[in-house]
Amino acid sequence: MLHLNAFLMGVGHHEAAWRLPESDAFAQTDVEHFKRLARIAERGKLDSLFLADSPVLWNSIGRRPAGTLEPTVLLTALAGATEHIGLIATASTTYNEPFNLARRFASLDHISGGRAGWNIVTTAGVEAARNFNLDELPAHRDRYERAAEFIDVSLKLWDSWDDAAPLGDKAGGVWGDDDLLHPPHHKGRYFRVAGPLNVPRSPQGYPLLVQAGSSQDGKELAARYAEAVFTAQQTLAEAQAFYVDLKRRAAALGRDPDTIKILPGIVPAIGATEAEARALEEELDRLIKPEYARQQLATTLRVAPEDLHLDRELPADLPSEDEIQGAKSRYTLIVTLARRERLTVRQLIARLGGGRGHRTFAGTPEQVADAIEEWYRSGAADGFNIMPPVLPSGLEAFVDHVVPILRRRGLFRTEYTGSTLRDHYGLARPANQFARVPVAAAH
Ligand SMILES: Cc1cc2nc3c(=O)[nH]c(=O)nc-3n(C[C@H](O)[C@H](O)[C@H](O)COP(=O)(O)O)c2cc1C
């Protein structure tokens, strides 16, 4: 079965979505807007919903609705508005401490009854570094080394309570068994954490671990820890190569490759006819103000904005991926896309305006279902990150018109069969690394 995740972003992934007459330009801080989206996704029985994040004001506030709610706080509200759907929040390993974050995700997992997921990112961009006492972005390799230790510490903290530690023994007057706490006393290169955590082990043991950077370091991290991987892939061949590579890396580390689910993004512009879908895409692209996007593209490519002529192709002389310390894989994707399709800067801006490098696709529900099925059946994906260009209408169109087709083809569930996020992804509850009593016997 396919896995489908709804990637929610304000009033849509297309950068000009907010300018459509139907859009509420201020919805990005409106909890009712997100509750509505969550309920639509749950109506479609999607595995999960997901919020991106970075501890920085992402772009010029002139360009599009800016300023976002903190994702774990927002997901706590959405946990109360839904019953089944998984809730995945992004949080940075570069600008957090493991104890705080492990506690926050354990809390979300308790509050949601086992539906929490953590999208682990290392945060590209010097602007975020400057919010955390730094002048420069820490080097890419360092960020990923810190991320690995951060996850190790978090896992130790989540496992620092045996499942059987809370007893609630009223007759004996013993609430919990101190011997079933396992303080990590971690001392590493980046962190010193005594523990134990101040939250008992949560329904899922710990949140589903999701990873979203596709550089070499990112893939290594994913192969070691991730249970789901979000990725941007433009072509079937690239997606297949990524899929094979990541599954192989996981297998080489002794993992069952089926326990790492790979979800490329797709930005589907859906219309009753292909012409209608294309008209929506064209209308959105027409509403982009290229000067903002050109500025951002120049920063990404590390060139002066004046060097990017809207009606010419990218300059020939651009840095190699090795020189990029920020988002390596996205940089390479953008340059490869522009060169392969010989796009002018204006055309590239329109492509990126739709989904920031994710695959954009305009078509009927049948065509969108075909596009999804093709990648799924050709070993390019275990599922998809659905990134509607306009919200809520794009999510409604997907749930009401594409999901039923996927069901008819036997590719997608008709009902939730489990209660936790790991259940939806077909993954087992992880054992406690310190457990002396097997989990099943503990209850
Ligand atoms: C679907 C998806 C969502 C992402 N969300 C975030 C995010 O919310 N915050 C973030 O800092 N990076 C996020 N990333 C990762 C960045 O886009 C970028 O790929 C990463 O920082 C670069 O890692 P790399 O250098 O390993 O390629 C996301 C990536 C994907 C594919």
Q: How far is the CA of 223 from the centre of ligand 1 (A)?
A: 16
Per-chain mean pLDDT for the chain: 95
What are 35's two structure tokens? 């509750």
Say which residue the tokens 């297309």 belong to: 14
Residue 181 lies in a domain: yes
Determine the distance from the C-alpha atom of residue 267 to the mean position of all C-alpha atoms in its chain, rounded to a whole number. 14
**What is the tens place of the pLDDT at every residue in 63-96?**
999 999 999 999 999 999 999 999 999 999 999 9
Q: Is 265 left (phi over 0), alpha (psi -120 to 50) or beta?
A: beta
Rg for the chain (alpha carbons), in Å?
Answer: 22
| pLDDT score, position 253 | 98
Domain that holds residue 256: 3-271+359-432
Is pLDDT larger for residue 370 or for residue 63?
370
Instruction: Name the more confident of 386 and 442.
Output: 386
In a domain? residue 315: no
In-domain check, residue 108: yes
Handedness of CA 239, 240, 244, 245 (dihedral sign): negative
Quote the ligand 1 centre to 264 CA distance (angstroms): 12
Which amino acid residue places its CA nearest to atom 4 of ligand 1? 212
Say if residue 365's pLDDT is above 60: yes
In this structure, is residue 68 part of a structural domain?
yes
- The three-state secondary structure class of 326 is coil
Using the mean position of ligand 1's atoms as its centre, give its distance from the Cα of residue 385 in Å: 13
Q: What separation in Å is there between the alpha carbon of 326 and the centre of ligand 1?
A: 10
CA of 60 to the centre of ligand 1 (A): 19
Q: Is residue 329 part of a domain?
A: no
Q: Where is average pLDDT lowest: 294-303, 363-372, 379-388?
A: 294-303
| Closest residue CA from atom 31 of ligand 1 | 231
Band of residue 439 on the pLDDT scale cut at 50, 70, 90 = low
- Position 294 in a domain: no
- The least confident of 65-69, 186-190, 326-330 is 326-330
Percentage of the residues of the chain whose pLDDT score is greater than 70: 98
CB atoms within 10 A of CB 12: 27
For position 124, which CATH number holds?
Answer: 3.20.20.30
**Of the candidates 322, 280, 272, 288, the residue with the CA atom closest to the CA atom of residue 302:** 322
Cα–Cα distances in Å, from 289 out to 60, 65, 66, 310, 354?
Answer: 12, 14, 16, 12, 13
Nearest CA to ligand 1 atom 29: 212
Instruction: Write the pLDDT tens digit of every residue in 252-289.
Output: 999 999 999 999 999 999 999 999 999 999 999 999 99
- Residues with CB under 6 Å of ligand 1 are 52-54, 90, 121, 123-124, 140, 212-215, 217-218, 230-232, 265, 327-330, 385
Is residue 301 in a domain?
no
Count other Cβ atoms within 10 Å, centred on residue 322. 8
Question: Residue whose CA is closest, atom 23 of ligand 1?
Answer: 213
Structure tokens at 68: 């976002």
Task: Indicate the SS3 state at residue 396.
Answer: helix
Per DSSP, the residues of 145-201 read HHHHHHHHHHHHHHTTB-TT-EEEETTTTEEE-GGGB----EE-SS-EE----SSPP
- Chain-centroid distance of CA 1 in Å reads 20
Q: How far apart are alpha carbons 67 and 371 in whole angstroms?
A: 33
Q: How many domains does the chain have?
A: 1
Structure tokens, 176: 């919990």
For range 199-218, the mean pLDDT: 95
Helix 328-340 vs helix 290-301: crossing angle, to nearest 10: 120
Residue with tokens 């094979």: 244
Check if the beta carbon of residue 70 is closer than 8 Å to that of residue 29: no
- Region 163-175 average pLDDT: 98
Mean pLDDT, to the nearest integer, of 209-236? Answer: 95
Q: Which of 144, 330, 384, 387 to mutate to test the pocket of ligand 1 (most atoms within 8 A of CB)?
A: 330
Summarised one tens digit per residue, pLDDT across range 287-317 is 999 888 899 899 889 999 999 999 999 999 8
Residue 251 scores a pLDDT above 90: yes
What is the whole-number distance in angstroms between the Cα of residue 41 and the centre of ligand 1? 22
The pTM for the full model equals 0.94
Confidence of residue 55 (pLDDT cuts 50, 70, 90): very high
Q: 313 - beta bridge partners? A: 344
For the cut 70, the answer to whether the pLDDT of residue 442 exceeds it is: no
CB 84 within 8 A of CB 112: no
Q: Which of 120, 117, 69, 116 is nearest to 95 (CA)?
A: 120
Name residue 208's beta-bridge partners. Answer: 117
